[in-house]
């Protein structure tokens, strides 16, 4: 069972999350907070497995909350949600110690995948966030992922998370043949021959967590 707390200053947002999460047999909401300060007290008192945290709140920000959790060596893993979609911002949050990063426009399925992935100790970046990070420079050099379209980047992220072609097709409302075409095209652009090489390249650009292999969602 994944024990989770919600930290968001908007009650309506917390209510929406609860409607989704309370239907899951493997997730238990053990508390909610309307501020980062209250959220930090809950984390220290309840030791949840995962905290779903809004980055923009009055007073302490989600970034500072994440940094305090990490500095205190607390076991709670942080998934950050925000409306901001900027490469520098998620990179700052990942540097602070957040394992998950989603935009608030994400689908319910992606929210659940992110929570379960992070609860297992693995990083989760939404495909649109990963694309923004890929477009950022690394050590002053351009990223090879600049060549990919948004759809190709989305397919690449799903492939390295272990999703088969038919499942990607179903989720993106495409035909398996179209997904296969995207796969071949992106691997040609990146000059990689297989998914292991693709995963290693993504690790090098901090798009997935380095674990010596592919991520499985």
The set of residues, in sequence order, having a beta carbon less than 8 Å from that of 173 and lying 6+ positions away, is none
The residue segments making up the domain with residue 41 are 2-124
User: Do 151 and 105 have their domain in common?
Assistant: no
Instruction: Out of 96, 124, 152, pick the residue that ends a domain.
Output: 124
**Does residue 15 lie in a domain region?**
yes
Please count the residues of the chain. Answer: 217
Map tokens 């008192």 to a residue. Answer: 45
Dihedral of alpha carbons 203, 209, 215, 217, sign: negative
**Backbone dihedral angles phi then psi of residue 145, each to the nearest 5 degrees:** -75, -10
User: Do 145 and 184 have their domain in common?
Assistant: yes
What is the domain count for the chain? 2
The set of residues, in sequence order, having a beta carbon less than 8 Å from that of 177 and lying 6+ positions away, is none
Map tokens 């935009």 to a residue. Answer: 103
Q: pTM of the predicted model, to two decimals?
A: 0.65
Q: What is the dihedral of CA 88, 91, 93, 94, to 10 degrees?
A: 180
Query: Along the 217 residues of the chain, how does pLDDT read in single tens digits?
Result: 999 999 999 999 999 999 999 999 999 999 999 999 999 999 999 999 999 999 878 778 888 899 889 989 999 999 998 776 555 556 667 778 889 988 887 889 999 999 999 999 998 988 777 766 665 544 445 678 778 877 888 888 889 888 899 999 988 888 999 999 999 999 999 999 899 889 888 877 767 665 443 443 3
- Residue 138 DSSP code: B
Contact between 80 and 55 under an 8 Å Cβ cutoff? The reply is yes
**Nearest 5°: CA angle at 120, between 15 and 39?**
40
**Does residue 173 lie in a domain region?**
yes
């Amino acid at each position: 069972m994944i024990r989770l707390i919600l930290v968001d200053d908007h009650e309506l947002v917390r209510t929406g999350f609860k409607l989704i999460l309370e239907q899951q047999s493997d997730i238990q909401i053990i508390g909610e907070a309307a501020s980062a300060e209250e959220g930090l007290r809950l984390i220290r008192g309840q030791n949840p497995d995962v905290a779903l945290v809004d980055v923009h709140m009055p007073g302490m920000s989600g970034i500072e909350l994440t940094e305090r959790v990490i500095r205190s060596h607390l076991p709670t893993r942080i998934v950050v949600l925000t409306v901001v979609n900027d490469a520098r911002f998620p990179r700052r949050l990942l540097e602070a110690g957040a394992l998950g990063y989603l935009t608030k426009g994400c689908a319910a399925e992606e929210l659940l995948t992110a929570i379960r992935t992070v609860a297992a100790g693995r990083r989760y970046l939404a495909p649109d966030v990963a694309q923004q990070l890929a477009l950022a420079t690394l050590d002053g050099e351009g990223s090879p992922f600049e060549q990919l379209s948004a759809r190709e980047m989305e397919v690449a992220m799903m492939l390295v998370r272990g999703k088969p072609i038919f499942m990607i097709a179903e989720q993106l409302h495409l035909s398996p043949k179209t997904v296969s075409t995207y796969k071949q095209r992106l691997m040609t652009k990146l000059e990689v021959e297989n998914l292991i090489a693709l995963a290693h390249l993504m690790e090098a650009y901090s798009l997935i967590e380095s674990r010596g292999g592919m991520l499985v969602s």
